[in-house]
Structure 1
Amino acid sequence: MGNENIRSLKSPFPRGSSKGLWLGGVAFTFAIAAIGFALTAIPGLDRLGPLACAILIAVVYRQIFGYPEAIRRGIQFSTKRLLRFAIILFGLKLNIDVVIHQGLGLLVRDVAVIVFSIFMTVWLGKVLKANSSLSLLLGIGTGVCGAAAIAAVSPILKTKDDDTAISAGIIALVGTIFSITYTIIRPFLPGSDLHYGIWSGISLHEIAHVALAGAPAGQDALALALLAKLGRVLLLVPLSFILMYWMSRKNAGQESGDTKVEFPWFLIGFILMSLFGSYVLGKAIPISKSALNGISYFTSFILTSAMVGLGLNISLRDLRTKALRPLIAMSITSVLLSFLSFFIA
């Protein structure tokens, strides 16, 4: 057998340059993410958001054309590495100084929301005999900060890529429905706009959902809504370490297999970026609002590109068999959370 044939057997790619195919895989996730963002210009889809649109495109592509094996390495780079990079950049959205000085009272309510969401979703999942991994991810996403929280804890919980993608897609869809519902019923609710803002911040799923629901109530209500939401984002850090401890205890009795819990180093980056954004950026280093918006847009794009890679792992057969019961559990939890949190806001 010639050297050329030996090289072809060792290569994970069928033909062409490995580097070129790796870049092609990354570019592929970028392209679908860009389409997802472009689709949000269509009325109706703008409510769904680019992340959910991109995941849906990836799922449809997988069902029609299959998984693009030739560029798998590049896609997996987006799924693993770029996902962690996006979580690190996400730290810039968290102003620790504002949360500590103005939102300590909200933090108590945020803790209650997270505990309630996780335990209620997991318990309902058991009652409904739902997939336990999806139920836990959806409970965390509901309680903390949606898809970003799911992406952050997935490496700790060692969940499957398709479970992570399914959970992120469900969170984006259900959160969008809830935020639109909030804006519709707002004029008929008792209480002030400020109360509505706090309620939105402690009960809705993602920052984008809170911004969507809070904006119609005015700038003051929106500011309170985002402050309440940022408190939940801050609590992602201690929650992650609690989950690490839980996984270590859970794996302690196992004698075989990979039982080691990998330390989520990207969370250190998340904390450092939060500190940088809170105390350096905009103070020691002046930066315009448009530049901050650009960084936020870039962060969302990278996160969406990573989710494309996860979406390509989803089989519609698995979606039908695995997602329905966790979706029901998470939806019931979200309704209960909205109702109960209205009285503690």
Structure 2
Amino acid sequence: MPVPRSFREPGPDLPGRPGRLLPGLATAAVALAAAFLVHRLVPALPAMTLAVVLGVLAANLPASGVWTAGRARPGLDFAGKHLMRGGIVLLGLKVSIMDVLGLGWLALVLIVAVVAASFGGTYLISRLFRLPPVTSLLVATGFSICGASAIGAMAAVRRIRHVDTVLPVALVTLCGTLAIGVLPLLVHPLQLSAPVFGAWTGASVHDVGQVVATAQTAGTAALGIAVVVKLTRVLLLAPVAALAGAHHRFAPRAGNAADRDNAKLPPVVPLFVLGFVAMVGLRSTGWLAEGWLEAGAALQDILLGAALFGLGSAVRIRTLLHTGGRALLAALASWFLIAVLGLAAALLIAG
């Protein structure tokens, strides 16, 4: 059976022909402006989630679908891969080691335990639903750490094809959006205080923007602790990526000795992950003025938003319905598991 065009491995980016990228990058820029406009009008809708949704719409509407699968495809693939890495680097400017340490050692241990249990549990659930190992790995990474950013980082570390990140990004966006609507409805039935709800949101919702959209419904007390708990999870992106890179580099691989010797080994820690760590260190020094931090956050939103639109524009709903039924069930089961783990940790952290 031929592979649908939108799910084929994109060709290499050709630096000598930058004109190939312009149509797709321009399309992403227009879509991103629309996402920011809608977010400004309806703050409860995160701009990053809107970028993915607009990408999916662009891929599945007749006229725009031809465009995103044709002339715009090289630029959209470039955005989904390379701009994603730039956004991950700048994500480090949101994480301060001082804020993380301010949670206390018990909270830090609990957050690490939740991430580890979420990762292992989500991977196991995905495999039980017979998802491929690569898809299971990416879903587990995105659900347990920081959504699409973590999926992009893991894909780069493990040399996973860009096309294989499409389904995991769609699932993590769907479940993160589900949390925005569902978690606030449970505050009163579960009799949660604002700090506990904030800690629960930070420990269980996937993307930073989705955490903010969810936690702000319970006020500033919930939002403050939610962001710190979430950014502590984000900080774990670096060691998880390093461990994945070391395993991929040194673990035995199939094939004959000549093939293994000739294979280009990936770095243990990619440069963009080192850049993320460097930005965390820079933010933690306190040297950067608030204006620089705001500029970095704005640029990060632009890069990640364009990347997410590019990834969303590769999703074909018809193909997803035929191939992603089991994946959707696995994602919902994993979402429930992480919500339960996060609530247990939140009750211990802020209860």
TM above 0.5, one fold? yes
2:232: which partner in 1?
Answer: 231
2:128: which partner in 1?
Answer: 127
1:157: which partner in 2?
Answer: 158
- SS for the counterpart of 1:113 is helix
Report whether the alignment pairs 1:100 with 2:105.
no
Residue by residue over 1:126-168, the C-alpha shift from the partner in whole angstroms, topping out at 9 and shown as x without a partner, is 2221233222211111110111111111111222323312212
CA, structure 1 residues 321+157, in 2 after alignment: closer, same or farther (shift >3 Å)?
farther
1:68 Cα deviation (Å)?
A: 4.9
One-letter code aligned to 1:215: Q
Q: 2:277 aligns with which of 266, 271, 279?
A: 271
- SS for the counterpart of 1:189 is coil
CA distance in 1 between partners of 2:143 and 2:18 (Å): 39
Listed as ranges, the matches of 1:173-322 within 5 Å are 173-255=174-256, 256=259, 258=263, 260-262=265-267, 263-280=269-286, 284-288=287-291, 292-322=293-323
CA, structure 1 residues 74+125, in 2 after alignment: closer, same or farther (shift >3 Å)?
closer
1:307 Cα deviation (Å)?
A: 2.5
CA distance in 2 between partners of 1:327 and 1:249 (Å): 33
One-letter code aligned to 1:265: L
Q: Root-mean-square deviation (CA), in Å? A: 2.9
CA distance in 2 between partners of 1:203 and 1:240 (Å): 20
CA distance in 2 between partners of 1:313 and 1:287 (Å): 36
**More deviation in 64-73 or 157-166?**
64-73
CA distance in 2 between partners of 1:335 and 1:192 (Å): 21
Contact 1:166–1:311 (CA<8 Å) still a contact in 2? Answer: no
1:34 Cα deviation (Å)?
A: 2.5
CA distance in 1 between partners of 2:224 and 2:213 (Å): 12
Listed as ranges, the matches of 1:104-115 within 5 Å are 104-115=105-116
Contact 1:197–1:224 (CA<8 Å) still a contact in 2? Answer: yes
CA distance in 2 between partners of 1:200 and 1:293 (Å): 23
1:66 Cα deviation (Å)?
A: 5.5
Report whether the alignment pairs 1:27 with 2:23.
no
CA distance in 1 between partners of 2:93 and 2:306 (Å): 19
Residue by residue over 1:194-239, the C-alpha shift from the partner in whole angstroms, topping out at 9 and shown as x without a partner, is 2222111111111122212222323222211111111111111111
- SS for the counterpart of 2:281 is helix
1:285 Cα deviation (Å)?
A: 3.9
1:85 Cα deviation (Å)?
A: 0.9
CA, structure 1 residues 317+101, in 2 after alignment: closer, same or farther (shift >3 Å)?
same
Contact 1:51–1:172 (CA<8 Å) still a contact in 2? Answer: no
One-letter code aligned to 2:53: C
Contact 1:97–1:279 (CA<8 Å) still a contact in 2? Answer: no
Gaps of 5+ in 1: 1-11
CA distance in 1 between partners of 2:338 and 2:75 (Å): 39
CA distance in 2 between partners of 1:73 and 1:337 (Å): 36
1:58 Cα deviation (Å)?
A: 4.0
CA distance in 2 between partners of 1:149 and 1:103 (Å): 25
1:105 Cα deviation (Å)?
A: 2.4
Corresponding residue pairs, total? 326
Residue by residue over 1:50-71, the C-alpha shift from the partner in whole angstroms, topping out at 9 and shown as x without a partner, is 2322331343268831655445
Residue by residue over 1:14-53, the C-alpha shift from the partner in whole angstroms, topping out at 9 and shown as x without a partner, is xxx9444433332232223323333445659926832322
1:242 Cα deviation (Å)?
A: 1.1
CA, structure 1 residues 312+50, in 2 after alignment: closer, same or farther (shift >3 Å)?
closer
TM-score normalised to structure 2 length: 0.82
Runs of 4+ deviating beyond 6 Å: none
Task: Say which one has the larger Rg.
Answer: 1
CA, structure 1 residues 160+321, in 2 after alignment: closer, same or farther (shift >3 Å)?
farther
CA distance in 1 between partners of 2:40 and 2:162 (Å): 29
Residue by residue over 1:257-284, the C-alpha shift from the partner in whole angstroms, topping out at 9 and shown as x without a partner, is 746224411011111111112214xxx3
Contact 1:86–1:299 (CA<8 Å) still a contact in 2? Answer: yes
Contact 2:46–2:210 (CA<8 Å) still a contact in 1? Answer: no
